[in-house]
Amino acid sequence: MPNTIAAITTNVRSFLWNNLPWLGNFVRSIKGNLNKFEGGTDHVPSQVVDVLERYSQLIGDRNFPVTGKVCLELGTGNSPDIAFLMLLAGASRSIMVDTEPFMKVPFQEGKEYEELVSYLRSIETDRIKFPQLTAHLNGVDLNEIARRLEYVNYDGVHLPLPDASVDIIYSKSVLEHVREPAQLFQELRRISKPEAIHLHIVDLRDHFHIKDDNTVNGNWLEFLEYDEEAWARRCVKTHGWCNRLRLPSWYPIVQESGFAILQENIVRIPLPTQSLPDTIKSVKDLDAAWWWVLLQPQGSKT
Ligand SMILES: C[S@@+](CC[C@H](N)C(=O)[O-])C[C@H]1O[C@@H](n2cnc3c(N)ncnc32)[C@H](O)[C@@H]1O
């Protein structure tokens, strides 16, 4: 019975988004989540540490020096914290790029990071191997570090950086939002130094089914059921648009742009209980909800 109700709910919802998109937006505006920014770390220290721990797992036992490195965060959203921590750990530059000017906080003032730094001091940081923070938490001038942060908005494809100029590139919950992933990856390869390291955390779930506690509800693959136009309508006035690439589609993009995968973690979750259309059911790795990947330019010597 619950399965039947869930199937009816999904079908009704798909029907409404395909035919009466304004109704969906109206309901969402009443519920107060129109234009809600979803999936970000929101400048919240515990969420920032959660991301650092995920990056650390990917890095594993590798030597990962940050000192003197040029770092780039792709799609910072409204949380400059990891970029700040890169400078704290000795990076020479820490650049953030995004297609939208989400950053509204005065992120170049040290007081913005006091809470984060005291949170890091208060917890066991053994699991955070990146960016080797623990040595740098005391006696630093937060204002001096914050002032060195760089933030640039761009068109989503043409990265405003010279060839072979960046050592470390990282992103969390961004690649699934990129409109031209193959082109962007060519650009990422262009700006990467030959020994550069990339850390990307990709969220492969329908963002309209992600709850505040970051788990999913209902049919977390529902977005695969819309055609391009209906999906675009569904996303009007939200930040929920995703390119909807499933995991197997990412491999050729990464490899054809000249990167090798050094390590990947695939977080799988149970498929939705709702019955999925046959065209979707046959897709490989459908249950992959998160893809964490560590990349390096092919042929790199480290
Ligand atoms: C879900 S948010 C994640 C923000 C942040 N990484 C976090 O975890 O808090 C996705 C971000 O990716 C950005 N974005 C989308 N396409 C992009 C692109 N081609 N290049 C850089 N950022 C992009 C969006 O503007 C948005 O800030």
> What's residue 37's pLDDT?
46
Cα of 151 from ligand 1 centre, angstroms: 13
State whether the beta carbon of 100 lies less than 6 angstroms from ligand 1: yes
Ligand 1 atom with the smallest distance to the CA of 77 is 27
Ligand 1 atom 20: residue of nearest CA: 156
Residue 280 lies in a domain: yes
Bigger pLDDT: 275 vs 90 = 90
Contact (Cβ atoms closer than 8 angstroms) between residue 195 and residue 259: no
Q: Of 111, 120, 58, 51, which Cα lies nearest the Cα of 89? A: 120
Q: How confident is the model at residue 197 (pLDDT cuts 50, 70, 90)?
A: very high
From the CA of 39, how far away is ligand 1's center (Å)? 9
For ligand 1, is residue 72 a contact (CB within 6 Å)?
no
d(CA 217, CA 209): 5
Give the per-residue pLDDT at 9: 64
User: How would residue 13 be classed by pLDDT, with cut points 50, 70 and 90?
Assistant: low
Among the residue ranges 22-31, 54-63, 160-169, 180-189, the one predicted with the least confidence is 22-31
Whether the per-residue pLDDT at 196 is higher than 70: the answer is yes
Query: Please, what is the average pLDDT of the chain?
Result: 88
Asked if residue 302 is part of any domain, the answer here is: no
Contact in structure between 16 and 24 (CB atoms under 8 Å): yes
- Token pair of 212, please? 């505040």
Q: Is the pLDDT of residue 156 over 90?
A: yes
221 falls in which pLDDT band (50, 70, 90)? very high
Q: What is the pLDDT of residue 51?
A: 93
DSSP letters of 47-84?
HHHHHHHHHHHHHTTS----TT-EEEEE--TT--HHHH
CA of 100 to the centre of ligand 1 (A): 8
Q: Encoding tokens for residue 271?
A: 């498929």
CA 88 – CA 142 distance, rounded (Å):
8
- 6 located within any domain: no
Mean pLDDT to the nearest integer, 227-241? 88
| Band (35; pLDDT cuts 50, 70, 90) | very low
Domain range for 265 is: 35-204+245-297
Mutate which of 71, 174, 207 for ligand 1 pocket (most atoms within 8 A of beta carbon): 174
In a domain, 232, yes or no: no
Which of 48, 96, 99, 171 for mutating ligand 1's site (highest number of atoms within 8 Å of CB)?
99
Position 216 in a domain: no
The number of folded domains in the chain is 1
Ligand 1: does its nearest atom lie under 6 Å from the Cβ of 82?
Answer: no
Is 81 domain-assigned?
yes
- The angle, 0 to 180 degrees and rounded to 10, between the axes of the packed helices 247-256 and 181-191 is 40
The predicted pLDDT at position 130 comes to 64
More confident residue, 38 or 242: 242
Whole-angstrom Cα Rg for the chain: 20
The rounded Å distance from CA 43 to ligand 1 centre is 14
Residues in the chain: 302
Would the CB of 205 count as within 6 Å of ligand 1?
A: no
Separation between Cα atoms, residue 255 and residue 175, nearest integer Å: 15
Top-confidence residue, 210 or 4: 210
Residue 33 phi/psi, 5-degree rounding, is -115, 25
Evaluate: CB of 200 within 6 angstroms of ligand 1. Answer: no
- Over residues 99-128, the pLDDT tens digits come to 999 888 889 999 999 999 999 989 887 788
Residue 155 Cα to ligand 1 midpoint, Å, equals 12
Examine residue 54 and state whether it is found in any structural domain, yes or no: yes
CB of 102 within 6 A of ligand 1: the answer is yes
Beta carbon of 79 within 6 Å of any ligand 1 atom: yes
What is the 285 CA–ligand 1 centroid distance (Å)?
24
14 part of a folded domain: no
Q: Is the pLDDT of residue 244 over 60?
A: yes
Judged by phi (left if over 0) then psi (alpha if -120 to 50, else beta), residue 107 lies in alpha
Tokens representing residue 289 in the block: 């909800």
184: domain CATH number is 3.40.50.150
Alpha-carbon span 183 to 189, nearest angstrom: 10
Q: Does ligand 1 have an atom closer than 6 angstroms to the CB of 45?
A: no
Which contiguous run of DSSP H or E holds residue 139?
A: none
What is the per-residue pLDDT for 29? 65
Q: What is the pLDDT of residues 157-184, one digit of tens each?
A: 999 999 999 999 999 999 999 999 999 9
Percent share of the chain, pLDDT over 70: 86
Confirm if 81 and 113 have CB atoms less than 8 A apart: yes
pLDDT of res. 216 = 92
